[in-house]
Amino acid sequence: MHHIIPHGLHHSMTRNRKSSPERPPQQPQEDERAITARRDEEKHALAQWEAEKHPMGYDEILVDPNDKPVGHSRKYLRSEDFDLIKTLGTGTFARVWLSRLRDAKGPDGDKVFALKILRKVDVIRLKQVEHVRNERNVLAAVAGHPFITTLVASFQDHDSLYMLLDYCPGGEVFSYLRRARRFNEATSQFYAAEIVLILEFLHEQQGVAYRDLKPENILIDAEGHLKLVDFGFAKKVDDRETYTLCGTPEYLAPEVIRNTGHGCAVDWWAFGILVYEFLVGQPPFWDQNPMKIYEQIVAGHLRFPSAMSPAARSLISALCTVDVSKRLGNIKGGASAVKSHPWFKDIDWDELYYRRVPGPIVPHLRGPADTRNFDEYEDENPEREEYSAELRDKHEDAFRDF
């Protein structure tokens, strides 16, 4: 079992003692005890959420973030409060670890989390500061939604940012899809319906475009429900348009490729591609050359297998409409128009939102810390660039939200 090397406690626990020479000598110790007590309170809050978590309704999510049990920036939590068990995933500037609270006693010892660690120097070098801030702030705003990864807490130390997320032991939907080759209609409808509820909430309650919908970014939790993860491209756009080229080639909407400006409608296009991939086993537009993929997308000619149901064809065609003004999800009615489509006629949306409908694939697990559904990763390179005083002076303020 690995653990994070302690960082930066000295800075947060010292006081300017020269300004109060008359203070009794035991006062600094009392300050340290107070800090330790607050730190213990924060750790207890994490364990309490994991024990009591439940699907939160809009009235619980759409409140002041300070009034929610999750999504907070924690000022006293430290990296050494966690044991790192195994790497769950890596990226160009982040690594996600299965973790648990260190020295947790009793039932708290079984509670595990996914801890995303981002090195500040890498975030800056790769010009990802704004994306990382967007990710943290969007996740805080949506924390508690039943099908979005829960940001339990965020914190930082002198050279790293931390996002503590709920752990989904089922792994990626992508892995199940590849093993099954394709999902049957009922399984596809179930997963698609949960994604509709995600997009409805992000677009209509938050004004957020997700912009990277694909099977690799959807995990399955212990009960067989979906969790959308990786909000690095998510952006609050409201009714405005944005022009950043981001996403995965097979899932890009035509307006992103043409760089004519895009908004939340890109997610409904990607959703149509996703439903097609669930049912067929591969996306409708594909080529080894990404430029060929882009040409196919902009042309927008869909070809359906003969076995696909008419209702599924109708839904995908309405979602993958090149003309944004005619695209299902972006036309009058928004997400409600998608939910009313005949392909979803058997879905009880309220029962689904509150997770009262069993998932079609429930992972077989040995326990809460089972990692069999995740790949093996090489150890982290111990040699990394230093977060210098110069970088800190220039960029530290950008990380204040953590």
Q: What stretches of 82-170 adopt beta strand conformation (E)?
A: 82-90, 94-101, 112-119, 151-156, 160-166
Q: In the chain, how many H helices and how many E strands?
A: 14, 11
Residue 344 has a CB neighbour count (10 Å cut-off) of 17
Helix, coil or strand: residue 218: strand
What distance in Å separates the CA atoms of residue 87 and residue 378, rounded to the nearest whole number? 9
Just list the catalytic residues: 212
Helix, coil or strand: residue 151: strand
Tell me the β-bridge partners of 166.
113
Q: Which two tokens stand for residue 337?
A: 């128009």
Contact, 139 vs 92, CB < 8 A?
A: no
Contact, 117 vs 380, CB < 8 A?
A: no
- Integer CA distances (angstroms), 295 to 126, 252, 269, in order: 29, 11, 16
Alpha-helical (H) ranges within 281-384 are 290-299, 310-319, 335-339, 349-353
Helix, coil or strand: residue 12: helix
Helix, coil or strand: residue 311: helix
Residue 264 has a CB neighbour count (10 Å cut-off) of 24
For CA atoms 46, 47, 50, 56, the dihedral sign is negative
Q: Which residues contact 185 (CB under 8 A, 6 or more apart)?
A: 279, 309, 312
What distance in Å separates the CA atoms of residue 69 and residue 254, rounded to the nearest whole number? 40
What distance in Å separates the CA atoms of residue 211 and residue 207, rounded to the nearest whole number? 12
What distance in Å separates the CA atoms of residue 277 and residue 282, rounded to the nearest whole number? 5
Helix, coil or strand: residue 247: coil
Contact, 267 vs 206, CB < 8 A?
A: no
Helix, coil or strand: residue 126: coil
Longest dimension (CA), the chain: 86
Q: What residue type is assigned to position 398 of the chain?
A: A
116 carries a ligand binding annotation: yes
Annotated binding site: which residue ranges? 116
Annotated binding site for ATP: which residue ranges? 116
